[in-house]
Amino acid sequence: MALQKQAGFAWIIDLGGAALFAWGIADGVAAAAAGHAAPATAFAAMLGGGLLRAATAWGVPVLAVRGAQATTAPLRHSLVQRLLGSGAAPSSGQSAVLAIDHVATIEGYETRFVPARVAAAAAPLVAVGIIACASLVAASILIGTLVPFVFGMILAGTAARRASERQLEALGDLSDLFVDRVRTLPIVRHFGAEERIARQVGVATREVARRTIAVLRVAFLSSAVLEFFSALAVALVAVYCGFSLLGLLPFPDPETLTLREAFFALAMAPEFYLPMRRLAAAYHDKQLGEAARAAIAAVPDLAPPATAPAAFTGVEARAVVIAWPGRTIGPARLSIGTTGLVALTGPTGSGKTSLLAAIAGQIPPSSGTLTAPGADAIAWAAQHPLILPGTLRDNLVLAAPHAGDAAVRAAIEQVGLAPMLARRGADLDLLLDHRGSGLSGGERRRLGLARALLADRPLLLADEPTADLDDASAEAITALLRAVATARAVIVATHDPRLIAAADAEVTL
Amino acid sequence: MNPFPPAAPERRTLRQALACATIAGLASILLLALSGWFLTGAAIAGASGAAAVVAFNYLIPSAAIRGLAILRTGGRYGERLLSHQAALTAMADLRGRLFGKLAAQDSRTAPDLASGDASARLIGDIEALEDLVVRRPGRPASLAAACFAVALVALAGWKAALALALLLAALPPLLTLAARRLTTRPAAEAADALGALRTAFVDYAAARPEIIAYGLAPRVADSMAALSRPLDRARAALARGDGVVAGLLAGYGTLAAALVFALAEGAAPVRALALLAAAASVEAMAAFARTALRQASVEQGMARLATLSQLPEELNPAPGGTAAGLPITLGGRVLDPGARIAITGVSGTGKTRLIEALAGLRAPVHPIDLGGTPVERCPADALRQQCALAPQDAMLIAGSIADNLRIARPGITEAEMHAALRTACLDTTVAGMPAGLETPIAEAGGTLSGGERKRLSLARALLARRPWLLLDEPSEGLDAATEAALVARLRDWLDTTGTGLLLVSHRHAPLALATARIDIAALARR
């Protein structure tokens, strides 16, 4: 069983502590009523019960968080793979929320809500069983309150839940509006509309607050029902036991209570509804956790790698259109054989990188025909290359695990990284972190290009290979790509006029 | 500590919430204490024979017990409702004031809250503050309950009362100390680790094409798992802190009960009353534990909000009416109002930056003057009276088409909107929409394509009626026929209104609008 569920059952140990404490005070009070001094065992039971309760209260979250993290760590691992391993995944900002924030929310759900739910299902029955040992009638009274309690929760709960869920949405929308207006403030200020927009934000927030308060009036009824029955349970047990001890019950008493038994039942009565109060306290974690689960469930699983065509024969794209809601790229037409250099041009944001991704089979075009090679025929030299924590060598051979040091050094030499290594007195064992600390933007880009060359694949896609480079370096890289293009097909996304001039063909988006 | 204290009406609501919380707290203690007293008294009377039973007043206590159960329920309900009401109203007010403050900044120096991270943090900080307001009545009500419990225990002699008073007085500092020692560092570590993890993820996400091309997703996931270990550790430490504080509270309650019972004097019913009052009083102090545990994470948010609340308001309200056009000086060339100029140059050389500097969005890097004053020394208000910008990315607000057009200036009529949409070649598209001008455009695209969004942004700039129109790639994403129509209509509009034009375009057709070109490479950089 998962640790967080075990933590829920551990709350039953807490009941044991409560029973020990209740026995201690019942024994002490009974002795006092009989005119004796309270026995030492009574005090020992009180303190022992307290220690047990303290230990459970400490142990449950510790156990639960361990169990929760045993669930969330693999979830995060698989989400990162699904989100970064597929071109169809949401934007990086949304992906980060899914893989990091939503996973943290689920950890909260597993740590606080799951143990409370398990305890709420099991602990009240155990509490009734313990109380029944002292007074069957008191136990029956508690069970009897359960019927109107459940009825009341259904009445107050169902209506309230729907209303409060709608209101949660309204509050979410309000947050979105607030974020949107903060985000667009520069243009709002530019048109001198800031006062009007501020007024509008003020009116919207006040309106949502007013409606939320109206909803809360109903929503808090269900917690009032819980509160009422947990207070009523104590009151009914106290009144029954009192009248039973006085012999004034209006019905024949099925049992003969002693003060010790009566006091024990009274002290244990609050424990009956306590698990449900704990559950109610974790309700917010439940709502958030379920929303996070639903969002994560919508992330598609990784598609199995497509079976690659036998041999690379070139790329043929006709009238290819890539469309997202609100954005369309293309139609684009592009053709390249097994060798040659094609330049893909167009202003920033016109979709050059997206078209490269479509050629690489990473995002599906929404219309048009595209004949492209399998994934293992493609090397990609990125604008922001991947750098994993490790050595320079590790990073260069990511796509060619069997490349020897000689090949690695040759690639470094080709892309012009050798002077950088010499300047630092560093070798292939140069340590890099995931941000590529210490490498300039241009050096990182060269690293990506070297990795793509080492991969030795028939089609090379290079995204802005010469951006941010000085003239001499840009010319060297252009010459290198020209040379590579005699043996392989090379498609570059660029707006560098020299590279465009060196290309065999230009495709403008 | 709270940079935004609640206003008078909310303070009144909070006082009412405090009264309810106090009633609930007192009723809770009295319910248990009275029950204990009643049971013990009843047992003694029952054992002493029929005369004692008749003499024992059972009606008042048994009625009081039932009454207290109802009072406790009502009190808790009132406390929750009123404190949430105060918090919600206060936060609505705060959002409004905070937005007003941010809105009155100069875009060139304002804090950048456009990134998702910054705005999410702002929302989170406001929610933390809301939570703080909701919890505010808890602590004084706990103190009132504690005093009441001590008074009840005093019925069983001064020794028990003194012991309980000392124990209860020591509890809040103990809880605060424990919470601070256990949660301050993990809370900071968790925040740092979360930030680092998010940065790493965004870095990796930028390399997504390579990850897919080389099948590296499992390796990246391993690397992310290593980076998330400090976060998991810090969060586990926070959960341990929760546990220690909860355990402390549970153990403390039994200790107080045992000690009070040992020291209590007098008749058995009174000692039973003292015992249960003591146990319930520690439970009533739980509000201190919750506040103490949240303190560490709330403090940073409060500090961030305080920084925002102290920003000076720099922008004056926009004056009505239209200002007379001022000349623009660009690289020594004086452009009189009404001139039509294209800025040319290869990508990445700062054409957009130049246009946005003139619009007052960013600081300039090229020498550019407005009315003889360098742009960086022009007040933001002077710049926005002269220029209307249709930026490179459309910068639309979430809302309807009309909402976006209305930003341009107050009092725009529907006829004016339709005229502007016609000039921007968007009239037929909007006419074909189910709700026309009131059609909502979703925040991240939705019903409008990229080109349509840009033309809506152009229509908005036309409606502003400023002496200079600034266009950045106005025809991007258009087919040749629509582009030609757009250029023709824009030319007519410029002719009719006599508006000046500064244009950046990668495409050839719009360049025909300009009567002269300025190469950005010829301008010295500052």
* CATH at B375: 3.40.50.300
Q: Report the C-alpha gap between A372 and A360 in whole angstroms.
A: 7
Chain B CB contacts of A387 under 8 Å are: 207
Q: Can you tell me whether residue A396 is helix, strand or coil?
A: helix
Q: What is the pLDDT of residues A498-509, one digit of tens each?
A: 888 899 988 887
Q: Among B58, B89, B318, whose Cβ lies nearest the Cβ of A192?
A: B318
Q: Among A80, A246, A461, whose Cβ lies nearest the Cβ of B221?
A: A80
CATH of the domain at B275: 1.20.1560.10
Judge whether B253 is closer than 8 Å to chain A, CB to CB.
yes
Judge whether B227 is closer than 8 Å to chain A, CB to CB.
yes
Q: Report the C-alpha gap between B34 and A285 in whole angstroms.
A: 36
Domain span including residue A80: 1-133+277-304
A231 plus A281 within the same structural domain: no
A476 plus A342 within the same structural domain: yes
**pLDDT at residue number B444:** 41
Joined together, the tokens standing for residue B123 give 């929302």
Rg (CA), chain A: 35
Structurally, how many domains does chain B consist of?
A: 2
Q: Which residue of B has its CA nearest to A198?
A: B100
Low-confidence winner among A6-20, A344-358, B356-370 (lowest mean pLDDT): A344-358
**pLDDT at residue number A416:** 87
Task: Count CA atoms closer than 13 A to B86's CA, side-chain side.
Answer: 27
B15 plus B60 within the same structural domain: yes
Residue A351 has pLDDT above 90, yes or no: no
Q: Given an 8 Å threshold on Cβ–Cβ distance, is B220 in contact with A84?
A: yes
Q: Can you tell me whether residue B331 is helix, strand or coil?
A: coil
Q: Given an 8 Å threshold on Cβ–Cβ distance, is A191 in contact with B407?
A: yes
pLDDT band at A330 (very low <50, low <70, confident <90, very high): confident
Q: Given an 8 Å threshold on Cβ–Cβ distance, is A347 in contact with B208?
A: no
Q: Report the C-alpha gap between B264 and A368 in whole angstroms.
A: 89
B45 plus B117 within the same structural domain: yes
How large is the average pLDDT for residues A132-137? 94
Q: Report the C-alpha gap between B151 and B163 in whole angstroms.
A: 12
B1 domain-assigned: no
B276 plus B391 within the same structural domain: no
Structurally, how many domains does chain A consist of?
A: 3
Q: Of how many residues is chain A composed?
A: 509
A310 domain-assigned: no
Question: Measured in Å, how far apart are chain A's first and last C-alpha atoms?
Answer: 57
DSSP 3-state percent helix, strand, coil across chain B (nearest 5): 65, 5, 25
Which pTM does this prediction carry?
Answer: 0.82
B298 plus B342 within the same structural domain: no
A261 domain-assigned: no
Chain B CB contacts of A362 under 8 Å are: 208-209, 212-213
DSSP state letter for A117: H
Q: Given an 8 Å threshold on Cβ–Cβ distance, is B95 in contact with A49?
A: no
A126 plus A219 within the same structural domain: no
| Amino acid, single-letter form, for residue B371 | G
**pLDDT at residue number B443:** 45
**pLDDT at residue number B237:** 95
B79 plus B192 within the same structural domain: yes
Q: Given an 8 Å threshold on Cβ–Cβ distance, is B42 in contact with A80?
A: no
Joined together, the tokens standing for residue A473 give 């370096």
Task: Give start and end residues of each alpha helix (H) in B310-449.
Answer: 351-358, 380-386, 401-406, 414-423, 427-431
Joined together, the tokens standing for residue A350 give 């016109």
Q: What is the pLDDT of residues A51-88, one digit of tens each?
A: 999 999 999 999 999 999 999 999 999 999 999 988 77
To the nearest whole Å, the CA of A424 is away from the closest chain B CA by 25
Give residue B20's Cα distance to chain centre.
29
A121 plus A71 within the same structural domain: yes
C-beta of residue A445 within 8 angstroms of C-beta of residue A468:
yes
Which of B309, B344, B370 delimits the end of a domain?
B309
b (16+ CB within 10 A) / e for A345-380: bbbebbbbbbbbbbbbbbbebeebebebbebbbbbb
Chain B CB contacts of A347 under 8 Å are: 347, 473, 476, 506
What residues does A380 pair with on adjacent strands? A461
**pLDDT at residue number A471:** 78
B426 domain-assigned: yes
Residues 262-321 of B with CB under 8 A from A: 262, 268-269, 271-272, 275-276, 315, 317-318
Joined together, the tokens standing for residue B356 give 């946005």
Q: Among B123, B202, B212, whose Cβ lies nearest the Cβ of A179?
A: B123
B250 plus B289 within the same structural domain: yes
How large is the average pLDDT for residues A455-461? 91
Chain B CB contacts of A111 under 8 Å are: 239
Q: What is the pLDDT of residues A367-389, one digit of tens each?
A: 888 887 777 888 999 888 888 88
For A190, B104, B376, B436, the CA distances from A185, given in Å and listed in that order, are 8, 10, 19, 26
**pLDDT at residue number B167:** 96
Of residues A391, A371, A401, A365, the one with CA closest to residue A308: A371
Chain B CB contacts of A67 under 8 Å are: none
A29 plus A113 within the same structural domain: yes
A322 plus A290 within the same structural domain: no
B288 plus B369 within the same structural domain: no
Residues 370-389 of B with CB under 8 A from A: 380-381, 384-385, 387-389
Residue A48 has pLDDT above 90, yes or no: yes
Residue A323 has pLDDT above 70, yes or no: yes
Q: What is the pLDDT of residues A207-256, one digit of tens each?
A: 888 888 888 888 788 888 888 999 899 899 999 999 999 988 888 888 88
C-beta of residue B274 within 8 angstroms of C-beta of residue A80:
no
Q: Report the C-alpha gap between A417 and A427 in whole angstroms.
A: 11
B266 plus B337 within the same structural domain: no
A17 plus A79 within the same structural domain: yes
Which of B275, B309, B343 delimits the end of a domain?
B309
B86 plus B196 within the same structural domain: yes
Judge whether B440 is closer than 8 Å to chain A, CB to CB.
no
Q: Given an 8 Å threshold on Cβ–Cβ distance, is A216 in contact with B36?
A: no
Reading chain B (526 residues) residue by residue, the pLDDT tens digits are: 566 677 888 899 999 999 999 999 999 999 999 999 999 999 999 888 888 888 888 889 889 998 999 999 999 999 999 999 999 888 888 888 888 888 888 888 887 776 666 777 777 788 888 888 888 898 899 999 999 999 999 999 999 999 999 999 999 999 999 998 998 899 889 888 888 888 888 888 888 889 988 989 999 999 999 999 999 999 999 999 999 999 999 999 999 999 999 999 999 999 999 999 999 999 888 888 888 888 777 887 888 888 888 888 766 665 555 678 889 998 788 899 999 999 987 666 788 889 999 998 888 888 899 988 898 888 888 888 899 999 988 888 888 899 999 999 888 999 999 999 999 999 988 888 878 888 887 644 456 767 788 899 999 999 999 999 999 988 876 777 888 899 999 999 999 999 999 998 877 888 999 999 988 888 766 5
B276 plus B359 within the same structural domain: no
In chain A, how long is the greatest CA-to-CA distance? 108
Question: Measured in Å, how far apart are chain B's first and last C-alpha atoms?
Answer: 43
Give residue B76's Cα distance to chain centre.
28
CA angle B516, B454, B432 (to 5 degrees): 125
Chain A CB contacts of B214 under 8 Å are: 380, 398-399, 455
C-beta of residue B287 within 8 angstroms of C-beta of residue B142:
yes
Judge whether B460 is closer than 8 Å to chain A, CB to CB.
yes
Helix (H) or strand (E) segment spanning residue A319: strand A315-324
To the nearest whole Å, the CA of A282 is away from the closest chain B CA by 14
Give the strand pairing for A459-463 and A431-432. Answer: unpaired
Q: Among A95, A96, A385, whose Cβ lies nearest the Cβ of B210?
A: A385
Share of chain A above pLDDT 90, in %: 38
Q: Which residue of B has its CA nearest to A361?
A: B213
Q: Among B271, B346, B448, whose Cβ lies nearest the Cβ of A495?
A: B346
ipTM for the complex? 0.86
CATH of the domain at A375: 3.40.50.300
Q: Given an 8 Å threshold on Cβ–Cβ distance, is B409 in contact with A62?
A: no
Residues 132-171 of B with CB under 8 A from A: none
pLDDT band at A347 (very low <50, low <70, confident <90, very high): low
A227 plus A284 within the same structural domain: no
Residues 164-183 of B with CB under 8 A from A: none
Judge whether B57 is closer than 8 Å to chain A, CB to CB.
no
* DSSP letter for each residue of A154-199: HHHHHHHHHHHHHHHHHHHHHHHHHHHHHHTHHHHHHTT-HHHHHH
Q: Report the C-alpha gap between B509 and A125 in whole angstroms.
A: 80
Q: Report the C-alpha gap between B386 and B395 in whole angstroms.
A: 19
Q: Given an 8 Å threshold on Cβ–Cβ distance, is B194 in contact with A104?
A: yes
| Those residues with Cβ within 8 angstroms of residue B317's Cβ, 6 or more apart along the chain or in another chain | A192, A195
A271 domain-assigned: no
Judge whether B244 is closer than 8 Å to chain A, CB to CB.
yes
Write phi, then psi, for B388 (nearest 5 degrees).
-125, 125
B352 domain-assigned: yes
C-beta of residue B211 within 8 angstroms of C-beta of residue A398:
no
To the nearest whole Å, the CA of A425 is away from the closest chain B CA by 27
Q: Report the C-alpha gap between A253 and A247 in whole angstroms.
A: 8
A333 plus A247 within the same structural domain: no
For A16, A275, A304, A426, the CA distances from B68, given in Å and listed in that order, are 28, 22, 65, 78
Q: Which of B40, B107, B242, B254 to mutate to test the interface with A (most CBs of A within 10 A)?
A: B254
- The size of the A-B interface in CB pairs under 8 A is 474
Chain A CB contacts of B227 under 8 Å are: 434
The CB density around residue A129, as the number of other CB atoms within 10 Å, is 11
Task: Give start and end residues of each alpha helix (H) in A3-39.
Answer: 3-33
Please tell me which of A15-24, A328-337, A355-364, B342-351 the model is most confident about, judged by mean pLDDT: A15-24
Q: Among A55, A175, A182, whose Cβ lies nearest the Cβ of B102?
A: A182
A16 plus A104 within the same structural domain: yes
Judge whether B467 is closer than 8 Å to chain A, CB to CB.
no
C-beta of residue B459 within 8 angstroms of C-beta of residue B422:
no
B238 domain-assigned: yes
Residue A467 has pLDDT above 80, yes or no: no
A269 domain-assigned: no
B317 domain-assigned: no
Q: Report the C-alpha gap between B131 and B125 in whole angstroms.
A: 10
For A162, A215, A280, B318, the CA distances from A169, given in Å and listed in that order, are 11, 13, 20, 35
A342 plus A203 within the same structural domain: no
B274 plus B346 within the same structural domain: no
A215 plus A346 within the same structural domain: no
Residue A455 has pLDDT above 70, yes or no: yes
Q: Report the C-alpha gap between B30 and B273 in whole angstroms.
A: 9
| Burial degree of B446 (CB within 10 A; 0-12, 13-18, 19+) | middle
B285 plus B347 within the same structural domain: no
Judge whether B220 is closer than 8 Å to chain A, CB to CB.
yes
pLDDT band at A333 (very low <50, low <70, confident <90, very high): confident
Q: Report the C-alpha gap between B414 and B253 in whole angstroms.
A: 69
Domain span including residue B131: 8-309
Q: Given an 8 Å threshold on Cβ–Cβ distance, is A398 in contact with B216?
A: yes
Q: Report the C-alpha gap between A156 and A162 in whole angstroms.
A: 11
